[in-house]
Amino acid sequence: MIALLDYGAGNVRSLTNAIESLGEEVRTVSSGEDILAAEKLVFPGVGAFGSMMHSLSDRGFVEPLTAYLRSNRPFLGICLGLQALFDYSEEAPEIKGLGIIPGSVKRFTVDLSVPHIGWNGLNFKHPSPFFNGLVGDEKFYFVHSYHVVPKDASVVLTTTDYGCEFVSSIQSGNILATQFHPEKSGRFGLHILKNFLGTVPEHALPNAASENSQLAKRIVACLDVRSNDHGDLVVTKGDQYDVRESGKVRNLGEPVDLARRYYQEGADEITFLNITGFRDFPLEDMPMLDVLQQTSKNVFVPLTIGGGIRDYTDKNGRNYSALEVAAEYFRSGADKVSIGSDAVLIVENYLKSGRKNGGSSIEEISRVYGNQAVVISIDPRRVYVASPDVVAHQVIETATPGPKGELFCWYQCTIKGGREGRDLDAITLAQVCEQLGAGEILLNCIDRDGTNLGFDIELISAVSNAVSIPVIASSGAGALEHFYEVFAKTDAEATLAAGIFHRREIPIDAVKNYLKGKVEIRLG
């Protein structure tokens, strides 16, 4: 029996599912006595350091947890569950950590996108039973803006490179803690979990590891989901956002089945977009929650869900905050939520008032769950202009002139699935959302969506140059070369595609095999 410390934030369902898939039972800790009685304790910290420590303290967990750790019983800390072991974190310097491992937690100060999101490798420093069966070149899923700095180098099990060499796992006696998420790291992540859960195998030091690990470019599979005319939830796909063919909603498959297929083919992440979320109330739309719950049972890579993340008032007059909606998605197995229409309205208000109000969905969700949990989905459309001065927007010079020979364009934000254009450009939207706390940009393009013509490189360059958070390039993939073009010509960290995967024109593993040797990717 594995005891799981759940303090009410983030996605613990995936970890439970991962442990259960390995044949172990999981019991969620609900009191200090449960912690003290545990034989093996797993602490999947998620969210932000300050709110995590407050939550542990409010639940009376700090003392029993400290006592458990000092007794040297088996412990696995994940992400914030690693950071919690240290004296303090720059994320909330006024709040004390557990102080089990001397040292601190520092924010990345690197000339690369922060958060560090994606699949990176490990440089092995000491043999450990947890590495048994690894070759050494495997990649694991990271998502964090802060990293630990132990005072005593002997606790360092692995380091990872991301503009600097940082500590990615530690071991002190029976305390093991990783910055990466084994439960989100596919079969190799499950392998490490198995080593922790089982009878302890021999110490091992993988020998195929390189000296310097590298972050992989990600390939994301996207499932646009909505109800068809019979009320069934289906994966659909638009042509420039029009998902109907001969009047009917295109049906390209069943969401849970497709997600499973893409996981098996090697997708680095899976994104579900509830494309009619803007007009539904997601907490009444239980099928979407069910899709997440079912998918997270056997898909062990990160899951993002978008559509309808905003404040609501239901028909009985009860108000629900976007934070409550997001919380329900996290509890159902999502790792990140993606905000579309609401982000546009938030930025418009911000630009009007000139200040943050602290209460927007972006600010609230990132405060509780961390920046990395908040993705902004942008649905822009190209608008040509004769010269940059005719609009008060961020305009780019284009190599593809407009119908009247215009040499400039801006990218107009839209809401409600492209139905309504707004007086706001995509570059400004991305920049303000970053300031408000977003951790990643999912950059669609209505002009290219479903066309197979390739990604809009000018749009992707303009947005990825304007922000320091990762950008996922989306819309238009139609050939293997299109994926390479994005990575070769822009700073995007991931590419997302839908139609070519759904129609089986190009499988995900073929994309990876094509990119192998050209850009860093995750195989296996």
Comparing CA positions, the residue from 433, 434, 430 lying closest to residue 443 is 430
Buried residues in 288-324 as b, exposed as e (16+ CB within 10 A): bbebbbbbbbebbbbbbbbbbbbbbeeeeeeebebbe
Does residue number 209 form part of the binding site for ligand 1PR (CB under 6 A)? no
Does residue number 222 form part of the binding site for ligand 1PR (CB under 6 A)? yes
Q: Nearer Cβ to ligand 1PR, position 241 or 330?
A: 241
| Interface residue with ligand 1PR, options 47, 103, 308, 470 (CB under 6 A) | 308
Q: Find the binding residues for ligand 1PR in span 367-386 (CB under 6 A).
A: 377, 379
Q: Is residue 8 packed enough to be buried (19+ CB in 10 Å), middle (13-18) or exposed (0-12)? A: middle
Spatial contact of 206 and 135, defined as CB atoms under 8 Å apart = yes
Residue located via tokens 């960290």: 493
Q: How many residues does the chain have?
A: 524
Dist. CA 522–CA 222, nearest whole Å: 18
85-124 footprint of ligand 1PR as x/- string (CB under 6 A)? ----------------------------------------
Q: Nearer Cβ to ligand 1PR, position 5 or 303?
A: 303
Q: Taking each helix axis from N to C terminus, what angle separates 286-298 and 255-265, rounded to the nearest 10 degrees?
A: 30
Can 79 be counted among the known catalytic residues?
yes
Can 111 be counted among the known catalytic residues?
no
What's 406's DSSP letter? -
Say which residues have a Cβ less than 8 Å from residue 410's Cβ, sequence separation at least 6: 382, 383, 385, 391, 393, 394, 395, 396, 425
What's 309's DSSP letter? -
Spatial contact of 144 and 116, defined as CB atoms under 8 Å apart = yes
236-255 footprint of ligand 1PR as x/- string (CB under 6 A)? -xx--x-x------------
Which of 379, 434, 449, 493 is the catalytic position? 379
Q: Which stretch binds ligand 1PR (CB under 6 A): 235-243, 294-302, 318-326, 461-469?
A: 235-243
Does residue number 278 form part of the binding site for ligand 1PR (CB under 6 A)? yes
Say which residues have a Cβ less than 8 Å from residue 404's Cβ, sequence separation at least 6: 384, 386
Which of 161, 224, 335, 456 is the catalytic position? 224
Does residue number 475 form part of the binding site for ligand 1PR (CB under 6 A)? yes
Say which residues have a Cβ less than 8 Å from residue 269's Cβ, sequence separation at least 6: 218, 220, 221, 301, 302, 303, 304, 494
Which of 91, 183, 268, 363 is the catalytic position? 183
Minimal distance, residue 475 CB to ligand 1PR, in Å: 3
Q: Nearer Cβ to ligand 1PR, position 209 or 301?
A: 301
Q: Nearer Cβ to ligand 1PR, position 75 or 369?
A: 369
Tell me which residue has its CB nearest to ligand 1PR: 417
Beta strand spans in 214-302 (E): 218-227, 233-236, 244-245, 248-249, 269-274
Does residue number 339 form part of the binding site for ligand 1PR (CB under 6 A)? yes
Does residue number 145 form part of the binding site for ligand 1PR (CB under 6 A)? no
Minimal distance, residue 434 CB to ligand 1PR, in Å: 17
Does residue number 498 form part of the binding site for ligand 1PR (CB under 6 A)? yes
Does residue number 364 form part of the binding site for ligand 1PR (CB under 6 A)? no
Q: Nearer Cβ to ligand 1PR, position 43 or 262?
A: 262
What's 275's DSSP letter? T
Dist. CA 97–CA 164, nearest whole Å: 24
Does residue number 456 form part of the binding site for ligand 1PR (CB under 6 A)? no
Does residue number 269 form part of the binding site for ligand 1PR (CB under 6 A)? no
Q: Is residue 429 packed enough to be buried (19+ CB in 10 Å), middle (13-18) or exposed (0-12)? A: buried
Helix (H) or strand (E) holding 260: helix 255-265
Q: Nearer Cβ to ligand 1PR, position 179 or 377?
A: 377
Q: Taking each helix axis from N to C terminus, what angle separates 286-298 and 13-21, rounded to the nearest 10 degrees?
A: 40
389-428 footprint of ligand 1PR as x/- string (CB under 6 A)? ----------------------------xx----------
Does residue number 455 form part of the binding site for ligand 1PR (CB under 6 A)? no
| Interface residue with ligand 1PR, options 6, 91, 183, 449 (CB under 6 A) | 449
Question: How many chain residues bind ligand 1PR (CB under 6 A)?
Answer: 33
Output the CA–CA distances (angstroms, integers) from residue 295 to 13, 40, 118, 399, in the order listed.
Answer: 11, 27, 20, 42
Which of 79, 222, 409, 445 is the catalytic position? 79
Q: Nearer Cβ to ligand 1PR, position 101 or 117?
A: 117
Backbone angles phi, psi at 314, to 5 degrees: -85, 180
Can 379 be counted among the known catalytic residues?
yes
| Interface residue with ligand 1PR, options 121, 186, 340, 437 (CB under 6 A) | 340
Minimal distance, residue 240 CB to ligand 1PR, in Å: 8
Spatial contact of 381 and 411, defined as CB atoms under 8 Å apart = yes
Minimal distance, residue 268 CB to ligand 1PR, in Å: 15
309-328 footprint of ligand 1PR as x/- string (CB under 6 A)? x-------------------
Dist. CA 261–CA 335, nearest whole Å: 19
Catalytic machinery residues: 79, 181, 183, 224, 379
Summarize as ranges the residues that interact with ligand 1PR (CB under 6 A): 222, 224, 237-238, 241, 243, 273, 275, 277-278, 306-309, 338-342, 377, 379, 417-418, 444, 449-450, 474-477, 497-499
